[in-house]
Amino acid sequence: MNREITSTGTDRQFNLNDQELSIDILQVLSRQRWLIVFCSLMGMAAGVLYSIQSTVWYRSTAAILVNSKNAGLESNATNVVEEDILANHMQMLRSRKIVEGALTKDGLMDLASIQPLLTPAKGEDAADYVISQLEIVKGGAGAAKSARSLSLAFAHTDPEESRKILESVLVEYQNYIAGQLESVMSKANEYITHAKDEVESELRNAEQDYLTARKAAPMLFQGEGSSNVYQDKYRRVEEELLNVDIEESSLKTRLERVRETLGDMDLDGPLSEHLDKLALIDSESMQRLGLYASLQVNAASTADFQATQPARIAEAQTQYNNVLQLMSEKQRLTTVFGPSHPKVKDIQDQIDLVKNFLDEKKDGTSVGAGAGMLSPEALLKAYVGFLEHDLATLTQRKRELTILAGNAESQAKTLIDYELQDMVLRKKIERQEKLFDGVVQQLRELDTASGLSGYVYELLETPRPGIRSWPKLSICALGGLMLGLFGGLFLSIANDLRDSRFHSAVEFEQFIGLRTLGRIGKVNSMRQGVKGLIATELTPDAEAIRMMRTLLLMDVKSKKLQTIAMTSPMQGDGKSTVISNLAVSFSQLGMSVLVMDCDLRRPSIHNFFSVKRENGLVDVLADELEPMEAIRDTDVENVHVLPAGAPTSTPAELLQSPRFDQLLEILKEKYDVVLLDLPPVLAVSDPLVVAPKVSGVVVVFRAVTARKSEVANTLRRLSSAGAVTVGSVLNTLGAQKEFSSDGGYYGYYRSGYSEVSVPQRSLQNGAIPSYNGRVGSVITTRASDIGSRD
């Protein structure tokens, strides 16, 4: 047997759990719409029933204004404080102290309407119940949301008692506020008086100490901000001492150098050789020495000397003084510019010029010639005397300044002590003043109750008899409707998920994974016989039969698909109807077709072709009849039928016999295609015996009855038996529009598309149109009996 066909086989392992789970919410809602509507209506009915049967609650309300006495602009800090005040009052109104005290004073602890609502096991009493039912909200409603007010509401089952309870709580609250105000104000006055006496006494003592200290202070101390004159004097004396030390050190250094120079001088040498030593003399001392030399010259001059050499002596004296001045200037310039500066060199040239002049005139202008002339040695010794005198003067001045500095330092320290004492006393006074202000401020802000005197408490709305607040029919009905709707949606999705039926042709095709050969729905009853076959009609279902034929035709003509078996999961799926119409469709191509009824338990093929059941397949397999003797001709040309034959108790054994295999080989040689009608796969084992022996198996499923588990088991059994499943056919009779069997054909037929290729023939008096001289098929309208037996 050649089993290589082009159609899809069933080698794959079919697993129901491997199928992709997808939910189309809109389709689920559409399929389960009545369940959703039912649940919604039931929920609304339950809500209405609840509003009628449940306990009625009444709500009594009141309002309190809590406003500040202080007029003026508000700040953020003030708003925060007032929010805290309102929060504290809310807590006081809801406190057990207020509620229990109110109920006890007015004898409301044992109200008959409250007792049934308590839970004694939890230790609840009337006060706990009132606190739980008391609602307090800050601010007003709408635009008055920021109002400094408290809105109170109390819910109870009795309207008049709800008013009494709320009124009792408000009265107790007002009494508590009044008592707290009186107590706090009394304590505040006591604290303020005590603080005033104590702090003021300390403040007076501090001020008295300050006055005493100011009186004992020196006249030069003027209090805070005055300067310390002794400190300024001490600073100036120290600066002068520093200058004296510097000058003393300079004089000592100069004196040592002059003494060293005197020790190294050659007294017998010429005058010009010692003139450079005079550079040690500073300019100020040089002027003093010049004056000294002039005095000496004047003292030594006589009338004879002046008469003999007045001009020469005057010239020598002038040149000598000039040398001294030049050397002094050189010393200054060397100190300022350095020895290499041009000015220093210029001065040196002038000194050399004068020295040369004196050397030339030394005979006439020697010291001996001028009795009043002073030698360099005499000048340096005189300069040493000047230095020693200046040094002694500086030493004496240093001793005097040291004494002055000590006195100024002592007086400055004394004045600083007065300054520090003054500062300490002033700080003490400031602390006492701040302490007094702080005590008063803290007393004003003593916890919540201490601020009560700054607020006005006014009852804006007195409690009234309670108004019915619950249950409200509209809210209960709407709530029940919404709960029912959500419950219905949940149940709908859950019900749809657990529903194993197929909801559309697309879902079915995706699930089985087989080639779909066609969808057929509007076929006729097998009780009409050949007249009930639709394969020759111009209808969508007839076109579906022809489409099935076309899909199988290639393999049939190539002898790959010569024997085709048709089965289904359960009885009544329409397999016999489909195979009968497929046989007629093949015959229209001029092919010889044999339809073999292998459903030996409940055969039906003989009814479709209007032949007798007797002398059929059972008789052939029992060797009681030859195959050709059992085959019947039909009213449809080229279509032959091998009926089931006589009833048997061993159908599976007969189909599994070698005689059946031999019969298939004989029939394949005689006919172009052999169609076998098999029993349902899930009902008996007969189809699993025959399926492996044929070229291919076509499975028919009915959309309205097929379950996913049944479809999976059918395909799994065929695959396990070794059958080659070439495709599936979907029977959409009685199914929803999602299983439309036309596959798009209805639109073509309604538009007259088929009239071009196949003209309509009028059927009068029930005449049956012929096909090649043989009886064909007719169009009928009854479809109620499809699948009644197949």
**For helices 76-94 and 159-216, angle between their N-to-C axes, nearest 10 degrees:** 130
Residue 68 in this model has a pLDDT that exceeds 70:
no
What is the SS3 assignment for 59?
A: strand
Nearest to 464 by CA among 154, 759, 780, 46: 154
Shared domain for 684 and 730, answered yes or no, is yes
Shared domain for 561 and 582, answered yes or no, is yes
pLDDT confidence bin for 552, thresholds 50/70/90: very high
Residue 1, domain member (yes or no): no
- How much is the pLDDT for 538? 63
Question: Which DSSP helix (H) or strand (E) runs through 66?
Answer: strand 57-68
- How much is the pLDDT for 245? 87
Burial letters for 668-704: b for 16+ Cβ neighbours within 10 Å, e otherwise?
beebbbbbbbbbbbbbbebbbbbbebbbbbbbbbbbe
CB count in 10 Å sphere of residue 280 = 18
Q: How far is CA 107 from CA 92, 103, 127, in A?
A: 21, 6, 12
pLDDT confidence bin for 130, thresholds 50/70/90: very high
The predicted model gives 129-140 an average pLDDT of 89
Lowest mean pLDDT across 223-227, 490-494, 555-559: 223-227
Q: What ranges make up the beta strands (E) of 535-622?
A: 563-567, 593-597
The predicted model gives 41-60 an average pLDDT of 91
Two structure tokens written together for 622: 């029992």
Phi, psi torsion values for 136, nearest 5 degrees: -125, 130
Two structure tokens written together for 628: 């050709």
- How much is the pLDDT for 120? 84
- How much is the pLDDT for 257? 80
pLDDT confidence bin for 19, thresholds 50/70/90: very low
Tell me the pLDDT tens digit for each residue of 577-599. Answer: 899 989 999 999 999 999 999 99
Burial letters for 346-370: b for 16+ Cβ neighbours within 10 Å, e otherwise?
ebbebbeebbebbeeeeeebeeebb
The predicted model gives 358-368 an average pLDDT of 53
Residue 617 in this model has a pLDDT that exceeds 90:
yes
Burial label for 392, CB within 10 Å (0-12, 13-18, 19+), is exposed
pLDDT confidence bin for 18, thresholds 50/70/90: very low
Question: Which DSSP helix (H) or strand (E) runs through 544?
Answer: helix 540-557
pLDDT confidence bin for 76, thresholds 50/70/90: low
- How much is the pLDDT for 531? 54
Q: Taking a C-beta distance cutoff of 8 angstroms, is the pair 352, 359 a contact?
A: no
Nearest to 598 by CA among 624, 575, 618, 623: 618
- How much is the pLDDT for 147? 81
The predicted model gives 37-66 an average pLDDT of 91
The predicted model gives 675-685 an average pLDDT of 93
Give the 3-state DSSP-derived string for 179-237, with helices as H, strands as E and coil as C: HHHHHHHHHHHHHHHHHHHHHHHHHHHHHHHHHHHHHHCCCCCCCCCCCCHHHHHHHHH
DSSP secondary structure string, 92-106?
HHHSHHHHHHHHHHT
Two structure tokens written together for 414: 């004394």
Question: Which DSSP helix (H) or strand (E) runs through 458?
Answer: strand 455-461
Lowest mean pLDDT across 107-111, 276-280, 310-314, 609-613: 310-314
Lowest mean pLDDT across 131-145, 239-253, 405-419, 526-540: 526-540
- Look at the chain and report how many structural domains it folds into: 2
Residue 523, domain member (yes or no): yes
pLDDT confidence bin for 772, thresholds 50/70/90: very low
Distance CA 202, CA 428 (A): 9
The predicted model gives 42-51 an average pLDDT of 92
Percentage of residues of the chain with pLDDT beyond 70: 69
Residue 45 in this model has a pLDDT that exceeds 90:
yes
pLDDT confidence bin for 167, thresholds 50/70/90: very high
Residue 333, domain member (yes or no): no
- How much is the pLDDT for 81? 55
CB count in 10 Å sphere of residue 255 = 17
Shared domain for 590 and 713, answered yes or no, is yes
Give the end of a domain, one of 498, 533, 554.
Answer: 498
Residue 618, domain member (yes or no): yes
Q: How far apart are the first and last CA of the chain?
A: 28
Q: Taking a C-beta distance cutoff of 8 angstroms, is the pair 203, 433 a contact?
A: yes
Give residue 768's identity as a one-letter amino acid code: I
Shared domain for 484 and 624, answered yes or no, is no
In whole numbers, what is the pLDDT of the chain averaged over residues? Answer: 76
Residue with tokens 């500040």: 68
Shared domain for 494 and 524, answered yes or no, is no
Percentage of residues of the chain with pLDDT beyond 90: 26
Residue 205, domain member (yes or no): no
Enclosing domain of residue 744: 505-755
The predicted model gives 592-621 an average pLDDT of 92
Shared domain for 581 and 553, answered yes or no, is yes
For residues 663 and 400, which has the higher predicted lDDT (pLDDT)? Answer: 663
- How much is the pLDDT for 694? 95
CB count in 10 Å sphere of residue 654 = 21
Two structure tokens written together for 374: 């002073």
Q: How far is CA 43 from CA 471, 493, 735, in A?
A: 16, 18, 32
Distance CA 147, CA 349 (A): 108
Residue 782 in this model has a pLDDT that exceeds 60:
no
Lowest mean pLDDT across 490-499, 603-612, 718-727: 490-499
Shared domain for 618 and 713, answered yes or no, is yes
Burial letters for 554-566: b for 16+ Cβ neighbours within 10 Å, e otherwise?
ebbeeebbbbbbb
Shared domain for 487 and 623, answered yes or no, is no
Shared domain for 601 and 677, answered yes or no, is yes
- How much is the pLDDT for 79? 60
Shared domain for 632 and 745, answered yes or no, is yes
Residue 363 in this model has a pLDDT that exceeds 60:
no
Residue with tokens 């007839």: 542
- How much is the pLDDT for 566? 94
Residue 30 in this model has a pLDDT that exceeds 80:
no
Nearest to 650 by CA among 659, 641, 642: 659
For residues 533 and 778, which has the higher predicted lDDT (pLDDT)? Answer: 533
Residue 353, domain member (yes or no): no
Lowest mean pLDDT across 379-393, 453-467, 495-509, 644-658: 495-509
For residues 688 and 538, which has the higher predicted lDDT (pLDDT)? Answer: 688
pTM metric for this prediction: 0.47
Q: What is the dihedral of CA 732, 738, 742, 748, to 10 degrees?
A: 160
Classify strands 725-731 and 134-138 as parallel, antiparallel or unpaired: unpaired
Shared domain for 589 and 608, answered yes or no, is yes
520 bridge partner residues: 731
Residue 636, domain member (yes or no): yes
The predicted model gives 57-86 an average pLDDT of 71
Shared domain for 481 and 557, answered yes or no, is no
pLDDT confidence bin for 292, thresholds 50/70/90: low
- Give the domain CATH number at 535: 3.40.50.300
The predicted model gives 204-217 an average pLDDT of 69
Give the 3-state DSSP-derived string for 678-692, with helices as H, strands as E and coil as C: CCCCCCCCHHHHHHH
- How much is the pLDDT for 305? 46
Residue 120, domain member (yes or no): no
Q: How far is CA 466 from CA 104, 209, 725, in A?
A: 22, 72, 79
pLDDT confidence bin for 352, thresholds 50/70/90: confident
Residue 483 in this model has a pLDDT that exceeds 90:
yes
Residue 774 in this model has a pLDDT that exceeds 60:
no
For residues 26 and 723, which has the higher predicted lDDT (pLDDT)? Answer: 723
pLDDT confidence bin for 731, thresholds 50/70/90: confident
